Amino acid sequence: MFDKILVLAPHTDDGELGMGGSITKFIEQGKEVHVAAFSIAEESLLDGIKKDALVYEFKEAMEVLGVKSENQYIFKNKVRYFPTNRQEILEQILSLRDLINPNLVFVPSPNDIHQDHQVIASEGLRAFKKISILGYELPWNNIVFETRSFIKLEEAHLEKKIKALKCYKSQGHRSYLDEHFIKGLAKTRGTQFENDYAEAFEVLRIIIE
């Protein structure tokens, strides 16, 4: 049903954090997966780290998950200033829509409290009015998250997700990159429907043809 998938990530690691296991499962199934990151968060890097570090870490993580280089997109919007650049970001999303013509799009949850994530979620909904959209989970930013849809994962998918996230050496200080947390969340989501592991999503729009 869905064979051309686009993941919209506000920052370079958000797609992997929210749905890295699903990305690698989709690719394993032969689906065409595209991932777009809208900021390399130069201003958020610790002192002594090269400003373009996240570009290389993103590409390395995508390679681990199996996303083709030609299906990776990086925009350099200033981190935490997405609301100011809202129209430009919408135009970037529209350019991806016209280029890729996906039939399933993933965005952060509209309930995400990070201002950059909110913009990608709302502008994604605006740009893809005729396309099915699911919202992925980033619990540290989600006060409310409705687990209405699940993608089953095998342990191998989860291990690839963890391996991809380990590529982000510049972000190693982030608590949400902890391997035990990532595995624990996947276990919790799987337990909700008696599966070993899963990633959960909010249903924003489903179109069945």
Please give the Cα distance from 89 to 200 (Å, whole number): 26
pLDDT at 111 over 90: yes
Q: Which residue has the higher pLDDT, 26 or 48?
A: 26
Contact 10, 114 (CB under 8 A): yes
Give the Å distances, CA to CA, from 94 to 2, 42, 123, 128, 205. 20, 24, 9, 8, 18
Contact 41, 54 (CB under 8 A): yes
Sequential DSSP letters for 163-180: HHHTT-GGGTT-GGG-HH
- Rounded to whole angstroms, the Cα distance separating 87 from 135 reads 21
Strands 132-136 and 72-74: unpaired
Compute the distance between CA of residue 149 and CA of residue 70 in angstroms, rounded to an integer: 29
Q: What pairs with residue 32 in β-bridges?
A: 4
Tens digits of per-residue pLDDT, 151-201?
999 999 999 999 999 999 998 789 999 999 999 999 999 999 999 999 999
Q: What is the DSSP letter of 112?
A: B
Q: At what angle do helices 14-28 and 53-65 cross, to 10 degrees?
A: 30
Can you give the pLDDT at residue 46? Answer: 77
Closest CA to 106 of 4, 1, 208: 4
Q: For position 88, what pLDDT does the model report?
A: 98
Q: What is the pLDDT of residues 29-68, one digit of tens each?
A: 999 999 999 999 888 787 778 889 999 999 999 999 999 9
114, 177 Cβ separation under 8 angstroms: no
CATH number at residue 192: 3.40.50.10320
Q: What is the mean pLDDT of residues 95-108?
A: 98
- Taking the C-alpha atoms of residue 118 and residue 146, their distance in angstroms, rounded to an integer, is 16
- Tally of structural domains, the chain: 1
Q: pLDDT digits over 69-83, tens only?
A: 999 999 999 999 999
CA atoms within 13 A on the CB side of 112: 25
The whole domain housing 107 covers 4-205
Mean pLDDT computed over 126-146: 97
Residue 93's pLDDT is: 98
Q: Strand, helix or coil at 200?
A: strand
